[in-house]
Amino acid sequence: MPRFVSVTADPGLLALPWNTPLAEWPQEHLVALPRGISRHVVRFIRTGGHVYALKEAAERYVVRENRLLRDLERLDVPSVEAVGVVLDRTTADGEALDPILLTRHLSFSLPYRAVFSRTLRPETVVRLVDALAALLVRLHLAGFFWGDCSLSNTLFRRDAGAFAAYLVDAETGDLHEELSPGQRAYDLDLAHTNIFGELLDLQAGGYIAEETELLTLADTVVDRYQRLWAELTEPEEFDTGELYRLEQRIQRLNDLGFDVAELDIHTDFDGRHIRIQPKVVDAGHHTRRLLRLTGLDVEENQARRLLNDLDAFRAATEQQYEDEEIVAHQWLTEVFEPVVGAVPEELRGKLEPAEVFHEVLEHRWYLSENAKHEVSLIDAVKSYVDNVLRARPDEREALPSPDDITGIIELGP
């Protein structure tokens, strides 16, 4: 009898064929989802209304990765959620089988190859690499050494025209109190090498134009990482008459989506010069503000876009001096919820509600530009649903198209 460790209370899991090698599981138990590169056998199953990713590997890898993923969740770093491990597996003949790691499938997420199969736009790779660089910075700030940073080991969710990246494979990682410059440099160099190889693969598959400078694209992960790391961690010096620069630094960090919980401030012997350095930087500035005001839990760029619309609503209704939470509730019930509610039930697996709202605002802008007058939000929603959303593939649990299936490669959870 297999042993379940830290597994969620889902009775449907007990009925699965744990005495069969994962590669031989019957099709009736599996869900067809896009997969990327992995050294191990990976399958997706659905039970109890949830979709899980299962990875079969040696016990030392499975137990360690389960622990690391739980540590990352505790540190609030974007990663897949570890559900537990299944140990002591044997076949009906008593032959030992490798344990299985269970993670919860991240809804509305896609591996990078599936993103390209749906968009085919050159700028998509820039947004993916940009999201991966931001994820690597967050991991390093938390003291996590990845050891195998790549597009393949990442899942991507749409985030108001950009992407949010989630770590999906922690097998080679390690958690420290703080990373050394050498550890960070090694991770970044490996990310650059892996991404260049993955871009070559995409180009060979016809997803990127032949004339595209792939090395230049791969270089963007290094540039983006270094600029973001410097903004978050490097000290800054200024005169006491330039205190506005302190506010500017904090505002820049907020614009990047980070809160500064603590500053290390020093003055020189005559008190005329100040040196500051952020000590505690927390990601999710806009996400936390929107969650506090509305209860909506969304990605960072989505939160920024929704907050901008909330501010515009506040100005349009002349409620600048009204309590912010009261106005936010009014915006939620009179603007956001009617837009999301206008999406037919059968189309709600296409995109997350916050992404739908963002795209409706974009669509409204284009309609208004073409019409040379302001198009109502209701008319924009109707046009968006009929002319844009219906043509999109489902992304809640994105099923691969026949063309995708021929190119699907494994991706460890």
Backbone φ and ψ for 262, nearest 5 degrees, come out as -155, 140
| Measured distance between the N- and C-terminal CA atoms of the chain, rounded to whole angstroms | 24
3 state DSSP class of 145 = strand
Pairing of strands 236-239, 89-90: unpaired
Which has the closest alpha carbon to 218: 150, 159, 277?
150
Contact in structure between 340 and 357 (CB atoms under 8 Å): yes
3 state DSSP class of 298 = coil
Q: What are the residues whose beta carbons fall under 8 Å from the beta carbon of 251, sequence distance 6 or more?
A: none
DSSP at 375: P
To which residue do tokens 């916050």 refer? 354
Contact in structure between 363 and 388 (CB atoms under 8 Å): yes
Backbone φ and ψ for 330, nearest 5 degrees, come out as -65, -45
Give the domains, in start order, of the chain with CATH numbers: 3-106 (3.30.200.20), 109-233 (1.10.510.10), 236-283 (no CATH), 300-391 (no CATH)
* Residue 363, both tokens: 């669509």
What beta strand segments (E) does 205-362 contain?
236-239, 258-267, 273-283
Backbone φ and ψ for 19, nearest 5 degrees, come out as -90, 10
The DSSP H or E segment spanning 288 is helix 285-294
Amino acid letter, 369 = E
Backbone φ and ψ for 219, nearest 5 degrees, come out as -65, -25
3 state DSSP class of 86 = strand
- How far apart CA 146 and CA 175 sit, in angstroms, is 9
- How far apart CA 403 and CA 135 sit, in angstroms, is 30
C-alpha pair distances (Å), 381 with each of 302, 363, 375: 18, 8, 10
Contact in structure between 191 and 145 (CB atoms under 8 Å): no
Q: In what order do the strands lie in the sheet with 258-267?
A: 236-239, 273-283, 258-267
Neighbours of 54 (CB within 10 A): 24
Contact in structure between 195 and 151 (CB atoms under 8 Å): yes
> Is the whole model's pTM more than 0.85, yes or no?
no
In order along its 413 residues, the chain shows pLDDT tens digits of 788 887 666 778 888 999 999 999 998 888 877 665 667 889 999 887 788 999 999 999 999 999 999 999 999 899 999 999 999 999 989 999 999 999 999 888 888 887 776 555 667 888 889 999 999 999 999 999 999 999 999 999 989 888 999 999 998 999 999 999 999 999 999 999 999 999 998 888 888 878 888 999 899 999 999 999 999 998 888 887 787 888 888 888 888 888 887 778 788 766 677 888 887 778 888 998 999 999 999 999 999 999 999 999 999 998 988 888 999 999 999 999 999 999 999 998 889 999 999 999 999 999 999 999 999 999 999 999 999 999 887 776 654 443 443 333 333 34
- How far apart CA 295 and CA 62 sit, in angstroms, is 35
**pLDDT score for 38:** 65
Q: Give 30: exposed, middle or buried? Use CB within 10 Å, 0-12, 13-18, 19+.
A: middle
